Copies of this chain bind each other. A is one copy, B any other.
Amino acid sequence: MAPVVGGEVDARRLARVGLSRIAAPARASLREQLQAVGEVALWERLRAQHPGVDPRQDIEAAERVGARPLCPGDPDWPAGLDVLDRIGGDRSGDDGMPLVLWARGTAGLADITRRAVAVVGCRAATDYGLHQAQELGFGLAERGWTIVSGAAFGVDAAAHRGALAAGGSTIAVLAGGVDVPYPAAHADLLDEIAASGLVLSETPPGSPPYRRRFLTRNRIIAALGAGTVLVEAGVRSGALNTVRHARRLGRTVMAVPGPVTSAMSAGCHRLLRDQREETALVTCAGEVCEEIGEIGELAPRPSGPTRARDGLADLVLQLLDVMPARSAIGVAALARRVDCPPGTVLALLGPLAVEGLVEATPAGYRLTALGRSSSQAGGSRAAPRS
């Protein structure tokens, strides 16, 4: 987007930048005035009380780090954020659409959020959680999904890194200004994210990430994704706040299970237990796609070894069960064992021999190696052989 000089759209943009300096996120009261009189008139009304605020300075500061202010109505404004003005209900009252979104990076926000998913979790993640977050970030990016998260230590960073490793795009939504790397240790990660994806914030350049802003920031992470995946979280993790936003905004909520012995999975398990019908258990990127992707994006089903016995009738199963492996047995004896007429047994032995599961010997019938192995596979116990 070009820098801002004169013109109607630019007046709107300048006004919103000015307003966002006064209040970002905007309280409900300010948003009402905004809707009533429009941003330009509202800014004209308020600017006098804030002589220190200069929107052009903020825009220039943003440009110095390759950032620009996006406003509702811009071609680049993501449709996903509209829901924030449609659906209220966040007790904080800060649940509206951002006045401005500062975007650092060259990617088109509307474009890369057309297929986006939020991946969040706790900062004190375990190796298990970090691994899952990275796997999900990688696998979802491979499938063309943009990973949205908060650039925090732990799950957030692992999810971003997974997406970057797959050469996919990822979005970090910050609580402070896009020119204020937070956490500082992630300055390089944020540079990397901005290079291929976007670093976003609704707070003006230079804003420190006050704690409250993390909570309001989370609504943007939830709104930008078609769904939110909770990878690891203690029962009081801040990541649950993002999940609450996702639920409130009607987004799909997913959670990754873990060992019940892990406190860092307790938040995921409680969510899956207490909100069973509204929370999908997911174990891989493919299953996330099943939840939020187009119809037919199905994950490959995990499956055990298929057994030669599958599909055979129960009586045939029974027949194989009582069939000796080493010694041989006659048809009459088999018939007694399965409590079934000899004629029926004989009729079944033919196909079984053709299938190579049993073989006829001078002494009678017995299981082949194939028949033995298939009878020992799967969840069933092998029957003692006579």
User: What 0/1 pattern do residues 208 to 223 of A give for CB contact below 8 A with B?
Assistant: 1111101100000000
CA distance A301 to B270 in the complex (A): 9
Which residue on chain B has the smallest CB distance to residue A180? B384
Which chain A residues in 265-285 approach chain B with CB under 8 Å?
A: 265-266, 269-270, 272-273, 276-277, 280-284
Which chain A residues in 138-194 approach chain B with CB under 8 Å?
A: 152, 175, 182-183
| Chain B min CB distance to A230 (Å) | 12
Q: Are B282's CB and A339's CB within 8 A?
A: no
| Chain B min CB distance to A231 (Å) | 10
Which residue on chain B has the smallest CB distance to residue A305? B236
Overall SS of chain A's interface: loop
Tell me whether A281 and B277 are in contact in the complex, defined as CB-CB below 8 angstroms, given that A27-B339, A380-B214 are known contacts: no
CA distance A175 to B208 in the complex (A): 68
> Copy number in this complex?
2
Chain B residue numbers with a CB within 8 Å of A257 are 257-258, 260, 265, 269, 272, 281
Q: Are B379's CB and A236's CB within 8 A?
A: yes
CA distance A92 to B313 in the complex (A): 9
Q: Are B236's CB and A304's CB within 8 A?
A: yes
Which residue on chain B has the smallest CB distance to residue A307? B236
Q: Are B379's CB and A261's CB within 8 A?
A: no
Q: Are A210's CB and B283's CB within 8 A?
A: no
Q: Are B256's CB and A258's CB within 8 A?
A: no
A360 contacts chain B at the CB level, 8 A cutoff: no
Q: Are A238's CB and B287's CB within 8 A?
A: no
CA distance A211 to B317 in the complex (A): 9
Which residue on chain B has the smallest CB distance to residue A269? B283
Other-chain residue from B92, B304, B339, B375 in contact with A211 (beta carbon distance below 8 A) = B375
| Chain B min CB distance to A297 (Å) | 15
Chain B residue numbers with a CB within 8 Å of A235 are 301-304
A91 contacts chain B at the CB level, 8 A cutoff: yes
Which residue on chain B has the smallest CB distance to residue A381? B214
| Chain B min CB distance to A50 (Å) | 9
Chain B residue numbers with a CB within 8 Å of A281 are 257, 269, 272-273, 276, 281
Chain B residue numbers with a CB within 8 Å of A134 are none
Chain B residue numbers with a CB within 8 Å of A211 are 317, 320-321, 375, 380-383
CA distance A126 to B258 in the complex (A): 14
A57 contacts chain B at the CB level, 8 A cutoff: no
Other-chain residue from B128, B212, B322, B381 in contact with A321 (beta carbon distance below 8 A) = B212
Tell me whether A318 and B236 are in contact in the complex, defined as CB-CB below 8 angstroms, given that A22-B339, A257-B269, A287-B273 are known contacts: no
Which residue on chain B has the smallest CB distance to residue A153? B381
CA distance A209 to B381 in the complex (A): 9
User: What 0/1 pattern do residues 51 to 86 of A give for CB contact below 8 A with B?
Assistant: 000000000000000000000000000000000000
Tell me whether A212 and B318 are in contact in the complex, defined as CB-CB below 8 angstroms, given that A259-B128, A272-B281 are known contacts: yes
A-B pairs with lowest CB-CB distance, top 7: A238-B379, A236-B304, A257-B257, A211-B321, A260-B283, A237-B379, A211-B383
**What would be 12 A-B contacts, judged by CB atoms less than 8 Å apart?**
A175-B381, A183-B381, A210-B322, A257-B260, A257-B265, A257-B281, A258-B259, A263-B302, A273-B280, A273-B283, A276-B277, A276-B280
* A→B interface (CB under 8 Å): 22-23, 27, 91-93, 122-123, 128, 131-132, 152, 175, 182-183, 208-212, 214-215, 233-241, 256-261, 263, 265-266, 269-270, 272-273, 276-277, 280-284, 287, 301-305, 314, 317-318, 320-322, 337, 339, 375, 378-384
Knowing that A239-B379, A256-B260 are A-B contacts, what are 14 other residue pairs whose CB atoms are under 8 Å apart, sorted by A's residue number? Answer: A183-B381, A210-B318, A210-B321, A211-B317, A212-B314, A212-B318, A215-B380, A235-B301, A241-B379, A266-B283, A270-B301, A273-B280, A273-B282, A276-B280
